[in-house]
A and B are shown apart, each in its own frame.
Chain A
Amino acid sequence: MEKWEDKIKKEVNKLPPKIITTHIEDTLQRLPRNRRLSKLSLSVAAILVAFTTSLGMSYISPTAADTFRSIPIVGSVFETVGNIGLKKGSEQGLTIELGQQIEFDRHRVTFTESLYDGSEIHIGYIIESLDPTNPKPNQNLLRDIRFGIDGQYIDGGWGARGLELDNGNYAETLSLRPIDEIPDNFILEISPWEGRSWKVNIPVERQGDSDSFLVNITKETKDIILHYDMITFFPTATEIAFRTVEDTSRIENIDNSQFIQYLVVDDQGRVLQPFGGGGGGIQRGDKVIQSLKYTFEPLDTIPNSLTVKPYLESREEAIQVQKKKWSGEVISLSQGGIGDMTVLSVEENDGVTTISYIIDGEDAYSQSSSFRLEDSNGNHYYTDDMPPARVEGTINQYKATFLKAPPLDDLFIAVFQNDIPNFIEELEIKIDLQK
């Protein structure tokens, strides 16, 4: 090494001064402890090359109006691609119509609706390509983004679900759960993680009524204490708030088979569709205390009771498949230890095949989507409804539609077989809501 290089080496290998180490320690201290993002959260990091600035608009421009018209269901992204909670919220008129548009990376994003009822913040938007040589929009365009409320960046989990529209545009809903408390009315700012080339400001106002029930009941096993705090019935979701206390050693050595999930059943035996959940926590000595909120499908009326059944998340991957040919008669298929599926009818109308079926078992929600169609050549067909819809007014009857399916005379129904969930009975609770 030459002398000048030796000198550079000395110069660039200095030790950090105290200001640096203190700053690093402070930053690490402020990280949310044991944070889990929403189950919906997406980890895809899209590299955005942004070109243009945002066009915040307080009116609906002609291009935005055209984009709105491209959405199949009365111009509502929420009703077109939202989960059942968003659909209900939209039907109840809780949405605020938007019209903001941003253009970057040869795409235009038109924000159509916002909805906030005290649970999660939901935003609907349409992504369209402005590149004539590549008219299919990038469905992952809005992944590497961050959020601010009234000018302050916020922390939280978020997720998105979308659908390609007939005209090639992509409609998506984004649901955000801030970790900290937020005001009832605020401006939500969405901007890219990298750079400041665009941003959009979306007015959000809390709408709708909610009913909260204090629970304040503690359950425990030798490893876990679970304190149920509150149940809130929002127009778009049923939310359960609770705290857990676990040994640090359990958290540190946790793997996928040890994450706790929650199955919620109402007084009629309906298993509520889970939407997601998350929260944060702190470490105290050898214990980790987490405050968590999990959301499930909304209920039209408050039930007499709700039963929460915690279970360990991971079950054996379904490998066994039972397959039966549809012959026009009711057939029953075993889904393994977890229960059974009874197919009532298979109908084909205008190219859409609809299967009606009853689920018996421990987790009707997950069982309802645990099947596919096949033909005699072994081709597989999956439902377009994820998850399938429970038939209104029933406990465990579902309908699933398939845009692609075998002809009825060559149609097989194949179910995946699963074991019964690994319930933690000591943590189970039946909450009386009539008191």
Chain B
Amino acid sequence: MNISKEVKRAQRGKVSSFEKLVTSHQLILYRIARTILSRNEDCADAIQETIVKAFEKLSSLREPQYFKTWIIRILMNECYQIVRKRKNIVPFEDWKETSSLEKGYESIEVEELLSVLPHEQQELIKLYHIEDISIQDLSSIYEVPENTVKTRLRRAREKMREILEQEDEVQWKNGKIK
């Protein structure tokens, strides 16, 4: 799909083009929302609001090729609003709930470790690991130069390494802490 072409068509009032755009981005929208919100119901609400706002404000998007990061920014704002309203910044406990369904202790442990990082670094690391999100995208989402994104990522990863090294008792073995 040619994103720019579809955006231009949608801007001219073609709703089916807007639908195509949203459908092709629904995976990434969910994954982004899930990095901020713990409950799938909240993710659904945030995505719903995002779709409506994106539809209403599509004409304000000057550069069609930036549709992805533009709609992600709208989504993140919606997610933050929900967080502010409910004051439920994604805690690892909630991740634990969903992860435990898969019997995967590893994710719990990773989230526990990640939770030691400041919130901004947690978010950046999670976003960075979402498929289809590039450094360039992060630069556009955060509206900072790519080098700044790289520096922030490097610092976050170094911190994670430090934490892992300090946690002597933490030994990775078959995904369990011994």
Once the chains bind, are A27 and B48 in contact (CB under 8 Å)? Answer: yes
- Among B19, B44, B60, B129, the residue within 8 A (CB) of A13 is B129
Once the chains bind, are A13 and B23 in contact (CB under 8 Å)? Answer: no
Once the chains bind, are A44 and B47 in contact (CB under 8 Å)? Answer: no
- For residue B40, CB closer than 8 A to chain A, the reply is yes
Pick from B7-15, B134-142, B144-152 the stretch touching chain A: B7-15
Pick from A33-41, A200-208, A314-322, A425-433 the stretch touching chain B: A33-41
List residues of B (37-64) whose CB comes within 8 Å of A's CBs: 40-41, 43-45, 47-48, 51-53, 55-57, 59-60
A41 to B11, CA, bound (A): 13
- For residue A351, CB closer than 8 A to chain B, the reply is no
List residues of A (201-230) whose CB comes within 8 Å of B's CBs: none
Q: Which residues of A contact B113 (CB under 8 A)?
A: 4
A251 to B95, CA, bound (A): 45
A20 to B44, CA, bound (A): 5
Query: How distant is B165 from chain A, measured CB to nearest CB, in Å?
Result: 12
Once the chains bind, are A3 and B57 in contact (CB under 8 Å)? Answer: no
- For residue A74, CB closer than 8 A to chain B, the reply is no
How many A-B pairs have beta carbons closer than 8 Å: the answer is: 112
Q: Which residues of B contact A7 (CB under 8 A)?
A: 106-107, 110
Using CB atoms, name the residue of chain A closest to B25. Answer: A24
Once the chains bind, are A8 and B26 in contact (CB under 8 Å)? Answer: no
List residues of A (279-319) whose CB comes within 8 Å of B's CBs: 283
A210 to B125, CA, bound (A): 62
Once the chains bind, are A43 and B59 in contact (CB under 8 Å)? Answer: yes
Once the chains bind, are A12 and B160 in contact (CB under 8 Å)? Answer: no
Using CB atoms, name the residue of chain B closest to A252. Answer: B14
- For residue A435, CB closer than 8 A to chain B, the reply is no
Are A12 and B77 also in contact (CB < 8 A) when A23-B47, A28-B19, A252-B14 are? no
Please give the number of chain B residues whose Cβ is less than 8 angstroms from any Cβ of chain A in the complex.
Answer: 52
- Among A2, A13, A21, A283, the residue within 8 A (CB) of B131 is A13
Once the chains bind, are A31 and B55 in contact (CB under 8 Å)? Answer: yes
A255 to B107, CA, bound (A): 50
Are A43 and B160 also in contact (CB < 8 A) when A8-B110, A13-B130, A27-B48 are? no
Once the chains bind, are A43 and B51 in contact (CB under 8 Å)? Answer: no
Once the chains bind, are B15 and A33 in contact (CB under 8 Å)? Answer: yes
A314 to B29, CA, bound (A): 38
- For residue A62, CB closer than 8 A to chain B, the reply is no
- For residue B35, CB closer than 8 A to chain A, the reply is yes
A36 to B10, CA, bound (A): 11
Once the chains bind, are A8 and B27 in contact (CB under 8 Å)? Answer: no
- For residue A9, CB closer than 8 A to chain B, the reply is yes
Q: Which residues of B contact A10 (CB under 8 A)?
A: 107
List residues of B (122-178) whose CB comes within 8 Å of A's CBs: 125-127, 129-131, 157, 160-161, 164, 172
Interface pairs (19), CB distance under 8 Å: A2-B157, A11-B95, A11-B110, A12-B35, A12-B126, A16-B27, A19-B41, A20-B40, A23-B45, A24-B29, A27-B47, A27-B48, A27-B52, A32-B15, A35-B15, A43-B60, A45-B60, A193-B57, A252-B16
Q: 10 smallest A-B Cβ distances: which pairs?
A: A45-B60, A43-B59, A16-B30, A23-B44, A9-B129, A7-B110, A27-B51, A11-B107, A27-B48, A8-B129
A residues contacting B by CB (< 8 A) are: 2-5, 7-17, 19-21, 23-24, 26-28, 31-37, 41, 43-45, 144, 146, 193-194, 251-252, 254-256, 283
List 9 additional A-B contacts (Cβ < 8 Å) besides A146-B56, A254-B14: A2-B157, A4-B110, A7-B107, A12-B129, A13-B31, A13-B130, A19-B44, A20-B30, A31-B19
